[in-house]
Amino acid sequence: MNVYEVSTLRERLFGNPYVGRGVVLGKTPGGKAALAYFIMGRSANSRNRVFEVRDGLVRTTPYDASKVEDPSLIIYAALRQFENHVIVTNGDQTDTVYDFLARGKTFAEALDTRCFEPDAPNFTPRISGMLTFRGGDFTYRMNILKSADPLGTACVRENFAYPALPGLGHFLHTYITDGNPIPTFRGEPERVSVPEDLDLFTREIWENLDAQNRVSLYTRYTDPVTGEYEERLINANGEGAKLK
């Protein structure tokens, strides 16, 4: 097995009915910081969502508020920025990380206070990532909090820290594939190629997510020198932004 093998996002996603929620962080061949976050859903409650982008913050919101059954695990800020850090997660641990950074603490210290989601029997992992810009370049970290056993009796905390290498990204998602219960992601974040073009990056993810279960996708490319970024948003529901 080649531990340095790099797959395309298409190879990681195509034909897989359910990888849950996913974070991709990495670097384009030309040096920009690449970020993607997507959500999928099997139930009507999970599918009843869209991404909303406002003032650099990405939040999940109900598509039809009258149909919301339980907002506790599906409505949250997915992306926030604190100083030179961009935080992206699949739950309200986004706010935990933000608050800890504001107090001079670290990404890992923040997530040491959290655990997987209390949605037995799946015990959905909490997945988190953070880009840190410094000196005209950047590094990134990823974290997964998952159940240590089928009963949810303890939490496993795994942290990963990466230098940003041109054309390389890492992909962390909540589930391996569909199932009952849904099998939790295992192993290190997957090594994936990152293209230079943001629309190609966005399209490669969206078009290879299962069409029945995909819900929303947000992508962003950031210039590490200027801090300027471009972004894309796709919502399966309503009239959300679509790819060109």
Identify how many contiguous H helices and E strands the chain contains and give both numbers.
Answer: 5, 13
Give the pLDDT of residue 241: 52
C-alpha angle 239-59-49 in degrees, rounded to nearest 5: 50
In the Cβ-directed half-sphere of 130, how many Cα atoms lie within 13 Å?
Answer: 27
Tell me the CATH number for domain 9-91+165-235: 3.60.20.20
Please report, for residues 20, 113, 143, 168, the alpha-carbon distance to residue 162 in angstroms, rounded to integers and kept in the order given: 23, 22, 12, 10
Write down the pLDDT at residue 39: 98
Phi first, then psi: give them for residue 18, nearest 5 degrees: -160, 105
- Separation of CA 88 from chain center: 6
**Of 104, 110, 124, which Cα lies nearest the Cα of 46?**
124
Instruction: Give the number of other CB atoms < 10 A from CB of residue 68.
Output: 15
Phi and psi at residue 93, to the nearest 5°: -70, -15
SS (H, E, C) 66-98: HHCCCCCCCCCEEEEEECCEEEEECCCHHHHHH
Render each residue's pLDDT in the chain as its tens digit; 244 residues. 688 999 999 999 999 999 999 999 999 999 999 999 999 999 888 899 999 999 889 999 999 888 888 777 788 999 999 999 999 999 999 999 999 999 999 999 999 999 999 999 999 999 999 999 999 999 999 999 999 999 999 999 999 999 999 999 999 999 999 999 999 999 999 999 999 999 999 999 999 999 999 999 999 999 999 999 999 999 999 755 554 4
Q: Distances in Å between the alpha carbon of 217 and those of 30, 108, 109?
A: 23, 26, 28
